[in-house]
Chains A and B, each alone.
Chain A
């Protein structure tokens, strides 16, 4: 067997078939010149690697580090610094719930970057508006879905809208509350609704226009806060497990 530089090179990289590799090893033990050639080629590689590491001694460009350390620049990193309600969501063992919780976080993170939104859900005050008043056309279907759909189940609504409940939870007054996302070709909305005396109240809502450069929003109150802050203030014991949610919805 003639052993070329190409064979030795492939031997260095462990890319030879086992049979050929054994043949090379046998010849290396018998042929000093071949062994010397192998050492030369390996030495070239070692020097190339050492040379590559030289740049480690120069400072990493600050502009690149800034891009990666800016925790508010992208949705995924906003998730990292999310609030207590999000952490509690992560404790859910149900896979579907976990998946949805993540989806919800992304939407919230977009909101954080854009800056928004609205009201408090502390009680049935004027800050809260009846959903039926704020939504036209599909409000009946929307309310029906909010009242019955399990978290994680996508629901198609009239007007080519897709609704998905992200998760449900109880507030301090033991009201059932639900975080949802409603998407149409024109806009995306996320919000929180709470059930009070069999009426669903709009506690927080944010609307993103599909054609707008930034997020637009609707407010139910003049106080500027964010949905995650609202969730933090509302959620008492974290999101409901699927069976707890079903039980609450059935009431």
Chain B
């Protein structure tokens, strides 16, 4: 039982990181109907921006609450910048092309970031330092709550609340939801579509950047290919929850994080990566709209 609780805590922490990445996938898909393959690599770049900021921006900083906030904000800003550049130079020229072309471009951008990352950062893993004082809290009965896990829970909760507010309570959020219904109609009623897409990329990418720092905190070895699997899994989480649906993305990510941790803990860690793909296939074959998504009827 204690083991189960420990796995649950670890799984929720992993799921929270997936959730932050999945939100970016789901938002971009909502407005553009595009699987932004490069999103996982923006997550990776967030991690590296954080690392380089700690290393060169604040070389003498002690791990503290202020350091953590600073690193996360810088990483968010860096990822947002990269996301915007990608949107402007790779996706925007293709706005009117067939979806397959945009998807192939996204794959290309993703590969470019991964291997360009190897060129810039080097291919070998680098150590991500602590940004908060590390402390293990014993909950009794061998259950350990890592202080890093608390950081992950708190920060992802705050960011998700912010996002929820932005999407459902502000003018921008209303425009974004309008575009996800119909891009053309939104354009006709005077919404500046390009601007909203731009802001969507800023928000999605900055969430991925924050997730990148949290990932570095939780698994302190980072390399330029680290975004590939978490990126794919976050996408799968978004599909599981119903792509385009913000609450769904969070629920899907938590389910995925938990089930992965259980499989790794009770069955075999080599099959952990296969699990996500099995979930993806099952969801798409049995309920393509996802858990919370609504079914779309194809008209002639």
Please indicate whether A and B come from the same complex rather than being unrelated chains.
Answer: no
Q: Give the B-binding residues of A (Cβ under 8 A).
A: none
